[in-house]
Structure 1
Amino acid sequence: MLDRNDPSFWSDLFETVLQGTGETLYTVGISLLFTVIFGLGAGVVLVTTEAGGLLAKPFGSRAWGIIINKVLDLLVNIGRSIPFIILMILLIPFTRLIVGSFIGPTAAIVPLTIAGIPFFARLVEIGIREVPIGLVEAAESLGATRWTILSKVMVAEAVPAIALGLSTTIVGLIGYSAMVGAVGGGGLGDVAFRYGYQRYSPEYMFAVVILLILLVQLFQSLGNFAARRLSHR
């Protein structure tokens, strides 16, 4: 048990929590980068390869569009169906193969990314589906290319919804990072578990909880602000 009367207690708490915050931001930031890159692409493909979609006939055949759509939809559903703690355990061999270890902040990036991609992909899909079909039809009637319709109409008009989806994804990743931290992934979850729980220090636990609340509020507020500023309504 940690002694709060020790002169170095509060300075140690500050340094430990600060290091944990840095590790959390590192793991969430890197995993978010990969999540946005692959999740955005997956969400766009889900919408455009469905029946009647913009890319319903890739490679000149409708069958390819159906196959791509169904396979990707299945993968997204599987990724969202597995609880994160189970997914993290299942990915231990893959994580060790990628980064050489399954312990530490860098190793935590792998399960966070795998969990974040299908979550964000579905939010991107929902956002693009909310774009009025009339805008797409108007662009087609003006002779716009498929790439122009996709980038300048569908994705561009869905940006406010995607911004909200992004903030929701960040909040989810922060929560996941706390879980992975409790099993050796570093970050604030590791601080709460090792110091707050194992060493019976409520000060560490409260500090972690307050910081997590502040981080969630910050990123959710930024997402809401961005969505309002980017909205055309």
Structure 2
Amino acid sequence: MFEFFDTAITSDQFLLALYDTLLMVSISLGFGSLLGIPLGIILVTCRPGGILPNPVVHQVINPIVNILRSLPFIILLITILPLTRWLVGTTIGTPGAIVPLVVFIAPYIARLVESSLLEVDDGILESANAMGASVLQTIWHFMLPEAASSLILALTTATIGLLGATAMAGTVGGGGIGDLAITYGYQRFDAFATLSTAIVLIIIVQLLQTLGTRFARRIRRE
């Protein structure tokens, strides 16, 4: 164990905060994708002119996604504190941050998936229809593969946005690097703590964007 120069943060604290951040991102992204990807598919298929038009379903889901997307994360986090406490038994720490992070990222992913799928050429859908493909077959074998590269970039963008949200969760004791920056950097006027956490977040974002871009490019070439 060692101290970061004149800062009160130890290496163990920093590594634990980094672990908590990555844990929050991975779990929230997993559950958010399980909710957001189907929602995005439903928004595309049930929209007017979609392969399975359903105005009722579309008019119910669309405004809900809009409402959740319009709320800044910090306000959303505070608003659903009772739900968070009911689901995980606490509103602080890593467990308390995961619920609002999922609620935040799911509609975000839904919009990104919707945008990616809408880019699929109409000719692809017409070919699927001509081959007698069902709705599920059209989605699974035609729409998703055709939009795979765009979907990867969309999920990369969602992951980066989620990383930023985990930092904001630190303002209410959400744990992770954001909490470290608030507790030591802001409240204790530790400039080095603030700078080091910012640098770590920048590095993670650059790695995520690079990996996502390369993976999307490889999928596009295949």
TM-score range, shorter chain: over 0.9
Provide the rounded CA distance (Å) in 2 between the counterparts of 1:206 and 1:159. 37
Provide the rounded CA distance (Å) in 1 between the counterparts of 2:104 and 2:217. 27
Conservation of the 8 A alpha-carbon contact between 2:2 and 2:11: no
Provide the rounded CA distance (Å) in 2 between the counterparts of 1:127 and 1:225. 18
Residue 145 (structure 1) shift: 2.2
* TM-score scaled by length of structure 2: 0.94
Residue 24 (structure 1) aligned with residue 24 (structure 2):
no
Q: Which aligned pairs between 1:34-183 and structure 2 lie closer than 5 A?
A: 34-56=31-53, 65-183=54-172
* TM-score scaled by length of structure 1: 0.90
Conservation of the 8 A alpha-carbon contact between 2:92 and 2:173: yes
Deviations 1:184-223 (A, max 9, x none): 1000011011111222222211110110001111111111
Provide the rounded CA distance (Å) in 2 between the counterparts of 1:108 and 1:162. 26
Bigger CA radius of gyration: 1
Residue 8 (structure 1) shift: 4.7
User: Residue type of the partner of 1:197?
Assistant: Y
RMSD value, Cα: 1.5
Conservation of the 8 A alpha-carbon contact between 1:136 and 1:154: yes
Residue 83 (structure 1) shift: 1.1
User: Residue type of the partner of 2:12?
Assistant: E
Moved over 6 A (4+): none
Conservation of the 8 A alpha-carbon contact between 1:21 and 1:188: yes
User: Residue type of the partner of 2:4?
Assistant: W
Residue 13 (structure 1) shift: 2.6
- 5+ long unaligned stretches in structure 1: 1-6, 57-64
